[in-house]
Amino acid sequence: MFFINILTLLLPILIAMAYLTLVERKILGYMQLRKGPNVVGPYGILQPFADAMKLFIKEPMRPLTTSMSLFIIAPTLSLTLALSLWVPLPMPYPLINLNLGILFILATSSLSVYSILWS
């Protein structure tokens, strides 16, 4: 039950983020007097999946002069902190019942600065 609850929380967030990125690209395309992404699927509706496939196939490029541990940890920390902000929100089956949920949200959002500085 706990795994299903996590999936019902994370899956819609990640799908919504993919399509909000598509909407952003469409709006920027119309602002620049072009259509935007419309190659994959009808009206470019499958563009987020094509972008995800491109990122999975892409060869990883790592800088030689940087700390490899920070290079890997910073984006992971950023995603983890962003997704953990959704934990204390009230839902039909809450992940955790926090009495001080707003304090948790404020503390977690203040930690996201470190992942930005490390990247």
Q: Are residues 37 and 67 in the same domain?
A: no
Based on the fold, state whether residues 82 and 41 are members of the same structural domain: no
Q: pLDDT band for position 47 (50/70/90)?
A: confident
Q: How confident is the model over 84-98, as a mean pLDDT?
A: 77
> Are 97 and 89 a contacting pair, CB within 8 Å?
no
- Pick the last residue of a domain from 11, 37, 58: 58
CA distances to 32, 34, 53, 111 from 29, in Å: 5, 5, 22, 34
Question: Is 52 found in the same domain as 7?
Answer: yes
> How does residue 1 score in pLDDT terms, banded at 50, 70 and 90?
low
Q: Which of 99, 98, 104 is nearest to 85 (CA)?
A: 104
The verdict on 46 and 97 lying in the same domain is no
Domains of the chain: total: 2
- For residue 71, what pLDDT band results from cuts at 50, 70 and 90? confident
Q: How confident is the model at residue 119 (pLDDT cuts 50, 70, 90)?
A: low
Give pLDDT, residue 22. Answer: 81
Residue 102 C-beta-side C-alpha neighbours within 13 Å: 0
CA 95 – CA 59 distance, rounded (Å): 36
The per-residue pLDDT of the chain, averaged, comes to 81
- The answer to whether 88 and 106 are in contact (CB under 8 A) is no
- Of 43, 58, 73, the last residue of a domain is 58
Q: For residues 33 and 51, state if they share a domain.
A: yes
39 shares its domain with 66: no
CA angle 28/29/33 to nearest 5° reads 115
CA distance 49 to 40: 9
Query: Is the same domain home to 119 and 107?
Result: yes
**65-69, 75-79, 83-87, 94-98: least confident range:** 94-98
pLDDT reported for residue 91? 73
pTM of the model: 0.60
* Residue 29 belongs to domain spanning: 1-58
